[in-house]
Amino acid sequence: MAHVRIVLNPHAGNGDTTEIVELAESFGYELVATEGAGDAFRLATEAAGEGCAVVAAAGGDGTVHEVARGLFEAGSGQTALGIVPLGTGNDLARNLGIPLDVPTALERLGKPGHAIDVVRLEIDGSPAICLNVLNGGVSGQVSEAVTDEMKERWGRLSYLRAVTDTLAEISPFRVRLETEEGDVEEHTAYNVAIANGPRAGGGIPIAPEADPSDGLADVVVVRPAPLPRLATLLPAVLSGTEPESELFVSRRLGRGRITVDPPLPFSLDGEPGEGRDFRFEVIAAALQVRGTDRDRR
């Protein structure tokens, strides 16, 4: 079997790593554990440099993002990403059809998968990547509001609980979108997303038509409306159907630029941040991922 190295965040999930350590050994996989911020990126970069065939992230979406960034920046193209979901949201795994139970996810590391796109970003001049979704505005404030204690108590429902609290206090943002063709759109918005995958925030369909293998990103702008009006659209959103409404603006782009005022609180693959100027470009088929389900979107 090809050399598989697992980068484990020992604090993910409930912090009990007994099962994954024992199973990894039974599969013949090598396992290394992170000790702090940035370790997953460093360990993934080292593994790619050593020629590992697969480097798997065992943790939440933040750990997956770090490992993927390490592989993407290593640039060898010979090392595939694996995912063993141990977090609360596990959004990228859901979008790619990777099983959420540890034994099956580990078994899938030995199976073929397919290539996914990577969205290369520049946020206020700083480089970043997006595997799944950059989601800002209401969603960014929700990401900040969801504490570890809430995740432990409510699980995936913690995101919906935070949405309810946040909508009552949100103020709109001024958004300017420049497309690759040079067109310019200006919007007043509650939420802005640059989506490579369809779901974020523990499975909420942010951009139902987004496909991480089509070479394009879905930009979704949600315009302001009174809370009762937004509430009537919520069932359609949660069911994965983009509502037929003037409140939702969707564009599918290979590259573009979004500027926002005031600064936009956002969640990038599950990690919080804030910014005003977002440049993006989709790098098609940039990363091989093991054990995916091609029919799952």
Residues 203 and 232 in one domain: yes
Are 64 and 290 within 8 A, CB to CB? Answer: no
| pLDDT digits (tens), the chain, 297 positions | 469 999 999 998 777 888 999 999 999 999 999 999 999 999 999 999 999 999 999 999 999 999 999 999 998 678 999 999 998 889 999 999 999 999 999 999 999 999 999 999 999 999 999 999 999 987 555 545 555 565 555 554 455 555 555 555 667 899 999 999 999 999 999 889 999 999 987 778 889 899 999 999 999 998 887 766 765 665 556 555 666 677 889 999 999 999 999 999 999 998 889 999 999 999 999 999 999 986 555
Are 104 and 149 within one domain? no
SS3 167: helix
Both 136 and 238 in one domain: the answer is yes
Domain end: 85, 111, 137, which one?
111
Q: Do 133 and 142 form a contact (C-beta atoms < 8 A)?
A: no
Counting the structural domains of the chain, the total is 2
Query: Same domain for 149 and 257?
Result: yes
Beta partners for residue 278, in sequence order: 123, 258
**176 within domain boundaries:** yes
Tell whether 116 is covered by a domain: no
Biggest CA–CA distance in the chain, Å, is: 57
Tell whether 48 and 17 lie within a shared domain: yes
* Phi, psi values for residue 245, rounded to 5°: -150, 145
Report d(CA 252, CA 230) in Å as an integer.
23
- Residue range(s) defining the domain that contains residue 259: 121-285
Last residue of a domain, one of 111, 132, 164: 111
Distances (CA, A) of 67 to 3, 36, 131, 249: 16, 13, 11, 32
Could you tell me if residue 293 is inside a domain?
A: no
pLDDT for residue 1 = 44
Q: Are residues 156 and 103 in the same domain?
A: no
| pLDDT at residue 125, as a whole number | 98
Give the pLDDT confidence score for residue 230 in this predicted structure: 65
pTM summary value: 0.87
Residues 59 and 150 in one domain: no
- Contact partners, residue 205, CB within 8 Å, separation at least 6: 198, 199, 237, 238, 239, 240, 241, 242
Check whether residue 278 and residue 146 sit in a common domain: yes
What CATH code is carried by the domain that includes residue 24? 3.40.50.10330
Q: Are residues 59 and 190 in the same domain?
A: no
Give DSSP secondary structure letters for 41-81. HHHHHHHHHTT-SEEEEEESHHHHHHHHHHHHHH--S--EE
DSSP structural state of residue 276: E
Which of these three, 93, 111, 129, is where a domain ends?
Answer: 111
Q: Specify whether 103 is located in the same domain as 33.
A: yes
- Is 209 contained in some domain? yes
Residue 211 lies in a domain: yes
128 and 222 in a single domain? The answer is yes
Catalytic (active-site) positions? 271
Q: What six digits make up the tokens of 78?
A: 């010979």
Residue count (the chain): 297
Task: Looking at the structure, tell me whether residues 42 and 63 fall in a common domain.
Answer: yes
Residue 291 belongs to a domain? no
Sole residue written with tokens 């010979």: 78
